[in-house]
Structure 1
Amino acid sequence: MARRLRPVEIDFVGVAPVRLVFARNIAAPPERVLQALAEDVSGWPQWFSAVTLARATDGGAGRPAPGRTRFAETVLVAKAPEVYAYRVDVINAPGARALVEEWRLTPHGTGTRVRWTFAADGTAPFRFVLVLARAGLKRAFRDAVTSLDRRLSRA
């Protein structure tokens, strides 16, 4: 059953009870990475295996995502070229209370340092499961960003 989460803003990334932060350097420049994140929403499943279907709604301000874990998001920030962030508004995962994901892009030589912050709040069991999931999320991030870099180098 889908439940509405607390409507937090971008500052939640810095104060969330659970903050999982992962970073990786890639060859693609920040502008190209932001374009893939913010403008090519339907392309996410081609480089992020955890995303099975994605599409922009409300003129790019929202993103529903069906799958085993279903959720609807609101884009909070799409500031070229350094940050893209979205809040999960509705989710079917039990125990979640608030969730924001932030992709921060920093120039690194001719490429980009990509930092992904997964910021969440929820019941104690939900927070515990997220901490346990850290290694899996880290691997998912690493694989996704590597695939994105390959995709952008071919385009």
Structure 2
Amino acid sequence: MAHSLRAVALDFVDSAPLRLVFTTEAASPPDAVFRGLTDVPGWPEWFGAVAYARPTDGGKGREIRLKGGVRFQETIMAAEPSERYAYRIDHTNAPGLHALLEEWRLSPSGTGTRIRYTFAVDGTAVLRTALRLGRPGLGHAFRSAVRALDRRVQAG
């Protein structure tokens, strides 16, 4: 891949130059949502932007290809059952990125799950501006993905 990104720790989710945070609810309980998130090959079934996903490094990493050709090599930073799933992008072919960490926080909400997704990024000024302008679209993609994940989890 063309670009190696800075290796950030989990606290980057709170200190990144740009943080986009989205929340929504799922009807499924946290343990079921967590199982769906950690089923890496299943991501293309529920996350519309993902064309291909596979675990790497014995399950410690992921290879993700988005529709349109963007590729990521990732390290899973946290996999805390029913609570948190986070991964860092280590290599990508997307220009302008310096560091990127994504975190999914799960908490009980009635019989379902409240999901808080944080997209923590450092990149060029142009990239940060584009992401700020694209925030509504990213939020829509997140909510659509969670609805599809919820349907998939409930269908078994």
Specify if TM > 0.5. Answer: yes
Distance 1:144 1:20 in 2: 16
Which consecutive unaligned segments of at least 5 residues does structure 2 have? none
**Equivalent residue for 2:126?**
125
Correspondence 1:66 to 2:61: no
Displacement of 1:148 in angstroms is: 0.6
**Equivalent residue for 1:9?**
9
Secondary structure of 1:137's counterpart equals helix
Structure-1-length-normalised TM-score: 0.96
Correspondence 1:45 to 2:44: yes
Secondary structure of 1:118's counterpart equals strand
**Equivalent residue for 2:86?**
85
Distance 1:92 1:125 in 2: 17
Distance 1:2 1:132 in 2: 25
**Equivalent residue for 1:35?**
35
Which consecutive unaligned segments of at least 5 residues does structure 1 have? none
Distance 2:73 2:131 in 1: 19
Distance 1:65 1:147 in 2: 18
Distance 1:2 1:81 in 2: 35
Conserved? CA contact 1:2–1:70, under 8 Å: no
Displacement of 1:152 in angstroms is: 1.0
Q: CA RMSD in A?
A: 0.9
- Once the two structures are superposed, residues 18-77 of structure 1 have per-residue CA deviations (whole angstroms, 9 ceiling, x without a partner) of 100111111101011111111x11001000001110011112111111341111100000
Secondary structure of 1:23's counterpart equals strand
Percent identity over paired residues:
56
**Equivalent residue for 1:57?**
56
- Once the two structures are superposed, residues 94-151 of structure 1 have per-residue CA deviations (whole angstroms, 9 ceiling, x without a partner) of 1110000000000001110011100000111111111111011101001000001111
**Equivalent residue for 2:76?**
75
Distance 2:94 2:129 in 1: 14
Distance 1:80 1:147 in 2: 20
Structure-2-length-normalised TM-score: 0.96
Secondary structure of 2:50's counterpart equals coil
More strand by share: 2
Which runs of 4 or more aligned residues in structure 1 lie more than 3 Å from their structure 2 counterparts after TM superposition? none
